[in-house]
Each structure stands twice: as structure tokens, then as C-alpha cells.
Amino acid sequence: MRKRSDTCCLVLNESRFWRKVLGDIATGCWLWTGARRADGYGCLMIDGRRVRAHRLSWQMQVGPIPDGLDVLHRCDNPPCVRPDHLFLGTQGDNLRDMRNKGRQRNVGRKGPISPQQRAKRLAARLARLEQENREQREADLRFADWCRHNTAISVRVV
């Protein structure tokens, strides 16, 4: 059973946590704006211990992290703390995910990935995301237009 002091500590930590999170409309990520490690992962101090922000987000929103599992990013964005952009997996799962998405830093099957090739892949990925965002926006506008003409519902698209 959780002690009263533990509950107060959790509320204080959640309050501190959410003050340092900012939504990114372009990616849908919830970005950690507090301290970051050199590798880009957000971190904060709780009871004298350094805690990674994405792990704390998982624990607050989803639940405990089982032993032997890590909190991994679907979005490949280290400062992201959005729970539905995170998933549990092993270190092996993380390595497979990294390899499948072309993020490995060392030699691959056909040799090292050059900075130019990595930039090219990133540009292609960003172009796909922008296209998906455009298509979603157009669908939202079509739905709002349909609502205006076919129902008494008032819809505001932002």
C-alpha cells in the first residue's frame, strides 16, 4: 500500500514533469523541454536520482516497467515522452527496431551508412510525414464542410 508521503511525492513529481512537456504539432510528439543528456534523452532528478523522462512518463501514464525491459520510442525521437509513442521491449528489440529503420551508427550489411545517405533517408521520411499531415488536414476540412452542410453540428477546425 502506498504511504501518504509517497502519494504527495508522486503528485509533486507529476506536476514538475508536466511543466516541462510541450506538444509538437508537426510530429505529434510530446517533447521534454527540461534537462537532456548528451544523447538527447530527457532527464530529471527525483529524490537525488537521475530519471529518464520517457521512463517516468511510461510509469505515470501506463504503469511499472517490468525487469529486463526498456521503454523504447516508436517515433525515434529521444526527447518524446508521449506514452503512445513509447513501447516496452528488450535491448534486442531496440537493436532490431534501429536496424529496420536504418538508424544504426556502425557498419551495416553493405558497409557504413554515409551522412549523405542518412540525410537522404531522413528527408524521405520527413516528406512522407508532411504528406500524411496534409492528407489528414484535407480530410478534417472535408469533414467540417460536410458537417456544416449536413447537420446542425458546429465544427471548428484548428
Tens digits of residue pLDDT in 68-125:
999 999 998 999 999 999 999 999 999 998 888 877 665 445 666 677 888 888 888 8
Q: How many whole angstroms separate alpha carbon 6 and alpha carbon 83?
A: 23
Q: How many whole angstroms separate alpha carbon 88 and alpha carbon 54?
A: 11
Q: How many whole angstroms separate alpha carbon 85 and alpha carbon 30?
A: 9
Q: What is the mean pLDDT of the chain?
A: 81
**pLDDT for residue 27:** 86
Q: What residue ranges do the domains of the chain occupy? A: 4-113, 114-158
Gyration radius from the chain CA atoms: 20
As assigned by CATH, the class of the 4-113 domain is: alpha beta
